[in-house]
Structures are given as structure tokens and as C-alpha cells.
Chain A
Amino acid sequence: MAEMKKYEILPHTADGKFRAYGRTLEEAFVNAALATASLMWDWARVEPKLTRPFCVRGRDREQLLVKFLGEIIYLLDTERFLLGSVAGLVIRTEGEDWLLEAEFKGDTLSDRHEIYGDVKAVTYSDMKIEECGGFTLQVVVDM
């Protein structure tokens, strides 16, 4: 069976918009991270030299998604870390909250990489989390 499409970049006047797909919510989150990275650099060309484990908490799945993707920008700004892949992503609930644990694998920005886009923030604008067989996440990021 052909591999399922990870994500699609959609038209948006000023910002970046995409839909990320997954058979599970976790897989869709991973693909949303790759889609976000793809607006700034070619994640497929980033070697997995470094690992950055982290955990985020949200009051609902939407906030969890905003905070999860925000981690990519935070690591770029503070450590010049480029995401290449996501490993061990687990989502669970704790009381009313949603928790996500994962590891980003990637490399430090160097002359080998071209950064062509600047994602400033992850927004709730037009955000959709749809479940129909699998999961589809629609996200708009501020660029």
C-alpha cells in the first residue's frame, strides 16, 4: 500500500497553513511538526545528530498542538536547533489536561542548511482537529 500523505501546505494570504494527517492522533501530531518545519527548512535533509526530549501540557487538544509546535520555534530561537524527525511521541490525558511527551531529533543550524521561512508563532486561527477513520489537523502559523 502506498504510504499515506504526511501533510499538505494550503494557500493562505499572509501566513502558513497546512493539514497534517495520521492514522492516530500521535502520527498526525508528528506530521504537523514536519509540516511546520517544512515552512522553514527541508527537514528531510537534517541529520539526527542531537536529541531534545520534552513534555507539554494543554487544557485541550488544540492548546496541546499549539504548545507542541511552539517547541520547534523555541528550540530554533534559543539553540539554533533544526528538527529532522520526531520520536516516541505519546499523548495521554491527566484529569482534564492533555499531556504530550516526545523527542525531537535534529541538528544545529549551520551553513549546510538553508532557512527560507520564518514561522513566528502557532495560532488557533482556522484550527481543526478532525477524526474520520484517521486524524486530520489543520493549522495556521504566523509568518
Chain B
Amino acid sequence: MELRKIGDNVWEIPKQGEMRVPALIYASAKLLADIKHDMTLDQARNVACLPGIQRMSYVMPDAHQGYGFPIGGVAAFDLDEGVISPGGVGYDINCGVRLLRTDYTEKDVTARRKELLSEIFKEVPAGVGKGGVTKLSRNALKDILVKGAEWAVENGYGTKEDLERTEEYGRMREADGAAVSDRAMERGIPQLGTLGAGNHFLEIQKVREIFDKSAAAAFGIEAEGQILVMIHCGSRGLGHQVATDYIELMENKFGTKGLPDRELVNAPFRSELGRRYYRAMSAAVNFAFANRQMIAHWVRDVFAKVLGSSKGMRQVYDVCHNVAKVEKHVVGGELRDLCVHRKGATRSFGPGRPEIPEAYRSAGQPVIIPGSMGTASFLLVGTPEAEELSFGSTAHGAGRVMSRHEALRRFRGEQIRDDLARQGVELKSTSWKGVAEEASAAYKDVDEVVRVSQEVGIGRLVAKVVPVGVMKG
């Protein structure tokens, strides 16, 4: 495959064969070496072959192999000529990250971190097969699918201000519970308000470094040592089932002939099935928003109980990492509605975009990039250039480099816990094997990922945070 370096940290796979547009990769030489290890570039090229794709098939600095689309892939499609693909969103629909700020400092929390973590562990159900604490009726679930985080706030979980500081204000308006199968609902009912497992985690963090004081201040990040809370989880089995269901429906309706990879199955955006998937996916997005809203509420409760108050625990923002959305972008000098697929990528809108809440409109959208378990995470801010460079998108995390199987062979969860403890980081998990699978050595260097984001201009660094306490599902 031809791969040309066309600028600092920018590589292009020129249009060839069936490709309708080139593929563009944002990576340093070091990250590109990681990316080349697997099928990421082939997958980016396959995406470039899909009908109606606009400008480029983009690959973010943290990309790795997915199924059909790469993880860390961004592709936008024309609404009339183009497609929508469940594989372009991913199975964990609206897997995302929420960040809370606090008025607490390292001094307030260090001595109490074990207690805080134990209490959070009690309040927030985590791990595979662990049900939620909320007994949910099917009607309540339907309400959640339509209203998302708004439902949670109406039911006493958090505040209206949280909604204001959530992508899509915590609710995708196109959602329709009727597009979600019974099977997906059955999987969702016991899982609302649960963290899940795998790469999902909840961290108590402290600010290590502030790079951009004015953006940080706009987001409520004031000083090094300030305590934050990060919640990383998604739509659980409900979202996974929506993806599985629509892949099957699209296969049965449109077949898989001519697709270089069966996971690229798609439907014309305007087709009945394409629209139905969009409504079902939006419902799963809402489920995930409600999920993170409830977890955030319980975390505040724990802080209030252990430290005496949850005052000042405002939400910085909540971003989606796996989603498809209709957004306005300029293509060929013309402002158009496009269906932007971000799979393992974060929206990164610069100042002024109407999608950004008023409080942040002059600063730009907060972009939250979690590192691997126990390592640094970053807060960035969206840039105006990102719209031209990546349809307003940037990286979403560290991205794996080592298989889970290999990580299990090389690391032991208990050892990781002890190593972290020596660095002053408390770790709790439902499974030590699960911890070994998520060892930070199995991931790319997140510092390098955000450095490239900043150098390319698709996200500007605001602050670096490091964990104090980690809860892994």
C-alpha cells in the first residue's frame, strides 16, 4: 500500500482502486509504527471506498484495528448519496467520558482516598454480569431511550447544569425506543447505572499540569493539585445489541456482496433501515448519557458522605467516543449537512459552534482524553482548524498496542496494584485478571497521542491529570 508523508505528523494513502477519496493519517513516526502493526490502514482504505464519503477517510493518532472501520476513524457521508454504518459507530454506542471538577485539593483527598474509593465501589455497580441497583420497568426504559440524561435529572440524579455541559445536552432528539429490539431492552434493563468492565473505569484524579490557563479557567480547572473525577463507560449490552441487530438487518436487506469486509455493512442514510438505525443508535446514545449521569450523581453522594460536601462538583463536560451524527461542515466551499461517524474519536469543535454550550462558546468545546488505567489523562479544547482537518474530531485515548491475551501472560493484576500503590495510586477492581488485561504497557503512549493532536491542530492541550484512585470494572 502506498503511504506518503505529506506534512509533519500527516500521512496520506492516495486514492487508488476502489477508493473514492484518499485516507489521511495523523500520527508521529512512532505512533505510525504502532498503527502499522495491525490492519488499521487497510481498514481506513476500505472506509474510503464507501458511497458518499466526503473529503477523506481520517485516522486519528491513537488509531488501532477495529472491525470494518478502524478505531480512531472519522468519516463523513453525504446525506443523499451516502451511507450510515453500525460498524462506523462501533458496538459500544456512546462509549464516552464525563469529567467532574471539585473544590477539593490533593491535601483534602490523599489521606481519604481509600475510603472514597471503597465507597464509590459500593455505590457504583461494576464488572461483567453485575446488575444495576435500579429496578427498571420497560416503560421507564423507553422513557430513558427518548430522554437520555434528562430522564436521570428529572428523577433526581444530578442537575440541569449537568445537561448543559453534556454533548447533545445529554439527549439525542432523533431517538426512538420503538427502533430498539426487545432483546436489546432486556439486556439494558439490568444494566442502567453500571460501569461495566473491560477498558471502562472511574478515576479520582488530580491536576498535574495546566497548559492553557484561560481555557482551563473556563472549564473550572484552577490549580495544580485540584481533584477531578473521570467516568468512562458506555451503553452496555443495550448498545451492543443495537449494533448487532442492525448489522444483521442491513445484511439481510442489502446483502454483503462487494464489501471488502462484512463489518462494513451499511444502509443508505435516507433509506428506511438507515433512518431506523439512526433512531435506534440515538436511543442507545441516550441510554449511555443516562448511565453516566447516574454514576456521576452517586460519586457526588460519596464525596458528600466521606468529605462532608459535594459543593463545587460541577460537570466539566461529557463527550461521546462512538457515535454518528448529522452536523454542518464546509465541503468544497459549501456548508452542508453530513453524517459524521466517529468511532473511537472525540468531537473537537472550536469556539463559536452552536453545538457548544453558551458557557464554553468563546473557549471551545472541552475534549476529554482518558489514558490507560492508572496513567495520565488529558483535557483538551477543540479548535476551529479541526473542522477542516478532521470534521472537528480528535483522538479518544491511548489505544491498545498489545493483545489482552499477551497482557495476561505478561502481567499480574495484583502486581499492577502494588506498583500503583507505591506511586500513591489506589486501585480497586472486580477482577485482577481484568486489571492485567488493561495494563498500561498494553497501550500507546497517551502523551504522544495528545502531543500529535496539538501539533496537527485538531485539539489544543489544556491540562494533564493523573490518578489518585482508580476503580476498574
Contact = CB atoms under 8 A, between A and B. Distances in A.
B61 interface: no
Given A14-B71, A125-B67, A142-B91, A115 B251 contact: no
B20 interface: no
Dominant SS among interface residues on chain A: mixed
Given A13-B401, A76-B129, A116 B263 contact: no
B68 interface: yes
A70 B243 CA distance: 12
Interface in A1-53: 9-17, 40
Nearest to A81: B129
Contacts of A70: 244
Interface in A41-92: 59, 62-63, 66-67, 70, 73-74, 76-78, 80, 82
Given A122-B244, A140-B67, A142-B67, A77 B129 contact: yes
B405 interface: yes
19 contacts: A12-B403, A12-B404, A14-B66, A14-B403, A14-B404, A63-B248, A73-B237, A77-B190, A116-B437, A118-B128, A120-B91, A120-B198, A121-B241, A121-B244, A124-B67, A124-B261, A124-B263, A125-B67, A125-B261
Nearest to A140: B67
A78 B437 contact: no
Contact of A117 (B183, B191, B197): B197
Interface of A: 9-17, 40, 59, 62-63, 66-67, 70, 73-74, 76-78, 80, 82, 109, 114-118, 120-125, 127, 140, 142-143
Interface stretch (B8-16, B23-31, B428-436): B428-436
Interface string B412-452: 00000000000000000011111001000000000000000
B44 to A, nearest CB: 15
B403 A11 contact: yes
A49 B473 CA distance: 27
A55 to B, nearest CB: 14
A68 B400 CA distance: 28
A70 B187 CA distance: 12
Interface in B53-84: 64-68, 71
A123 B92 CA distance: 13
B406 interface: yes
Contacts of A82: 129
B37 interface: yes
B240 A123 contact: no
Contact of A13 (B38, B240, B244, B434): B38
A133 B261 CA distance: 27
A13 B403 contact: yes
Contacts of A78: 186-187, 190
A14 B236 CA distance: 17
Nearest to B256: A124
Nearest to A122: B244
A123 B243 CA distance: 10
A86 B186 CA distance: 23
A117 B198 contact: yes
Kindly name the residue among A40, A66, A142 whose own CB sees the greatest number of chain B CB atoms within 10 A. A142
Contacts of A122: 244
A57 to B, nearest CB: 11
A125 B263 contact: yes
B404 A117 contact: yes
Contacts of B240: 73, 120-121, 142
B410 to A, nearest CB: 12
Nearest to B413: A116
B244 A115 contact: no
A123 B431 contact: no
B402 interface: yes
B19 to A, nearest CB: 20
Given A73-B237, A74-B183, A123 B67 contact: yes
A15 B127 CA distance: 17
A13 B196 contact: no
